Amino acid sequence: MSQRILIISLTIFSLMLVSGCASLRPSYNKPDISLANVEMLKANLWEQSFRLRLRVDNPNDRSLPIRGMQYQVYLNDIRLATGVSDNHFDVPAYGSEYFELNVSSNLWRHLADLGKLVDNRQPVAYRIEGHIRTGLFMAPTITLRESGSLDPAKLNL
């Protein structure tokens, strides 16, 4: 009888402990991330370097720390870049912050497609996918999936 009461008590205590830890786990609404600009830094036949300027909008009522990210950037379904960044910055509550990524790519196999994009001067669809790490204890990784379009006339290519 006393062993049964001990097991029930430990079970109840464990459940209370687990639910208490879950309430301490910080949660954030997904930030909005948009591509603000693409700037070509240098290009040769085998490698191209770009600077991507991204804007992060924080819809949360507290500061959102960004401690790193893994990402893929696509222009019209052509993978422009993939990689990781260890940029550390905070996006204020209900605020915005810009940051830049220097990326390298080999677009040789997509040269004809990219030439058409430049020649057409039509809006270019982009997609950014990846994961954001906040660096907070027990904080979940924020999944990143944003898309939009860019007007080539406004880019510094």
pLDDT of residue 22: 45
Topology (CATH level 3) of domain 28-154:
Immunoglobulin-like (2.60.40)
Per-residue pLDDT reduced to its tens digit, 82-100? 778 888 899 999 999 998 8
Distances in Å between the Cα of 138 and the Cα atoms of 24, 88, 114, 119 are 9, 18, 42, 48
pTM: 0.64
CA distance 58 to 29: 8
Low-confidence stretches of the chain (pLDDT < 50) are 20-25
Is residue 25 within 8 A of residue 16, CB to CB? The reply is no
Which residues are CB-neighbours of 21 under 8 A, at least 6 positions away?
Answer: 138
pLDDT of residue 23: 47
